[in-house]
């Protein structure tokens, strides 16, 4: 046997040892094939999970856009959502009930004081009006009860913009830099209708409270049946 063959380990092996070595090599090659297969499957699984997560986020975003802007929103509305995505996420998660419908959304600048103006969005829902902005560490939220709104009015703010005034309680909220377009007019109409609706509800609730009070006075003997009926008729009419 030459010295070179000894170095290369090509010495003839006994049949049993040779068979064992071949079996081990085959098992090693098989493990490598299985490992490569598992690696490919794991990589494909992660790729699919990433795709599904991306799809879920896309669907979730579209659902939120639809909640605030309705089906088939215009590009301008989609851009508004993108500009204030954190704000809409916060409002959706913390300020709106699950089934509470949004009636309109506009961008506006809130004149908090003479020296302080805050850019954000006004969101009119079925139950309240919200001014909100959430960006980074900055969060500013105000909620307005329709029943406490005494009025809403407009003024010119340049050529194509409007100022919006809301008489709320004893103060007046001022918003400007509002684009005078169709979404704004729909928003304004919806808020006016809600103010009227909640005023009627408030008056109706007050009437029933007074009816309860005079019924209680009759039960206590303070009012006669005739006095009770007279007061009741006044309230109903």
The pLDDT of residue 38:
92
Three-state SS sequence of 110-165: EECCCCCEEEEEEEEECCEEEEEEEECCEEEEEEEEHHHEEEEEEEECCCCEEEEE
Residue 2 lies in a domain: no
Cα–Cα distance measured from residue 52 to residue 95, given in angstroms and rounded to the nearest whole number: 29
Residue range(s) defining the domain that contains residue 118:
75-196
Residue 127 lies in a domain: yes
Residue 227 lies in a domain: no
- Rounded to 5 degrees, φ, ψ at 220 are -80, -5
pLDDT tens digits, residue range 168-226? Answer: 988 999 999 999 999 999 999 999 999 999 888 766 656 666 767 767 776 777 778 77
Cα–Cα distance measured from residue 215 to residue 212, given in angstroms and rounded to the nearest whole number: 5
> Contact, 189 vs 171, CB < 8 A?
no
CATH classification at residue 114: 2.30.29.30
Residue 67 lies in a domain: no
Three-state SS sequence of the chain: CCHHHHHCCCCCCCHHHHHHHHHHHHHHHHHHHHHHHHHHHHHHHHHHHHHHHHHHHHHHHHHHHHHHHCCCCCHHHHHHHHHCHHHHHHHHHHHCCCCCCEEEEEEEEEECCCCCEEEEEEEEECCEEEEEEEECCEEEEEEEEHHHEEEEEEEECCCCEEEEEEEECCEEEEEEEEECCHHHHHHHHHHHHHHHHHHHHHHHHHHHHHHHHHHHHHHCCCCCHHHHHHHHHHHHC
The pLDDT of residue 15:
79
- Rounded to 5 degrees, φ, ψ at 125 are -110, 180
Cα–Cα distance measured from residue 207 to residue 197, given in angstroms and rounded to the nearest whole number: 16
Residue 228 lies in a domain: no
Cα–Cα distance measured from residue 151 to residue 166, given in angstroms and rounded to the nearest whole number: 6
The pLDDT of residue 48:
94
Work out the average pLDDT over 90-116.
Answer: 92
Strand 171-179 with 102-111, pairing: antiparallel
The pLDDT of residue 16:
81
The pLDDT of residue 115:
83
Q: How confident is the model at residue 125 (pLDDT cuts 50, 70, 90)?
A: very high
**% of the chain exceeding 90 in pLDDT:** 54
> Contact, 78 vs 150, CB < 8 A?
no
Cα–Cα distance measured from residue 141 to residue 120, given in angstroms and rounded to the nearest whole number: 9
pTM of the model: 0.69
Between residues 222 and 52, which one has the greater pLDDT? 52
- State the sign of the Cα–Cα–Cα–Cα dihedral 93, 94, 99, 105: negative
Between residues 215 and 80, which one has the greater pLDDT? 80
The pLDDT of residue 176:
93
Residue 5 lies in a domain: no
User: Which of 17-21, 82-86, 137-141 is predicted least confidently?
Assistant: 17-21
Residue 96 lies in a domain: yes
Counted domains in the chain? 1
Residue 161 lies in a domain: yes
Q: How confident is the model at residue 2 (pLDDT cuts 50, 70, 90)?
A: low
């Amino acid at each position: 046997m030459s010295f070179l063959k000894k170095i290369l380990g090509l010495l003839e092996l006994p049949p049993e040892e040779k068979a064992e070595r071949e079996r081990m090599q085959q098992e090693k090659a098989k493990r490598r094939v299985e490992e490569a297969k598992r690696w490919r499957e794991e990589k494909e699984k992660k790729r699919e999970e990433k795709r599904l997560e991306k799809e879920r986020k896309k669907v979730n975003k579209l659902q939120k856009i639809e909640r605030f802007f309705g089906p088939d929103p215009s590009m301008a509305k989609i851009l508004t959502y993108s500009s204030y995505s954190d704000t809409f996420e916060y409002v959706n998660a913390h300020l709106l009930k699950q089934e509470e419908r949004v009636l309109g959304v506009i961008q506006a600048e809130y004149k908090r004081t003479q020296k302080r103006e805050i850019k954000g969005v006004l969101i009119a829902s079925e139950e309240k009006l919200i001014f909100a902005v959430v960006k980074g560490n900055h969060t500013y939220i105000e909620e307005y009860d329709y029943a406490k709104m005494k009025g809403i009015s407009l003024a010119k703010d340049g050529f194509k913009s409007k100022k919006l005034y809301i008489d709320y309680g004893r103060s007046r909220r001022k918003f400007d830099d509002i684009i005078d377009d169709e979404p704004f007019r729909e928003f304004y109409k919806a808020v006016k209708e809600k103010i009227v609706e909640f005023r009627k509800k408030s008056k109706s609730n007050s009437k029933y409270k007074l009816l309860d009070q005079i019924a209680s006075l009759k039960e206590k003997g303070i009012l006669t049946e005739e006095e009770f009926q007279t007061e009741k008729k006044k309230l109903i009419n």
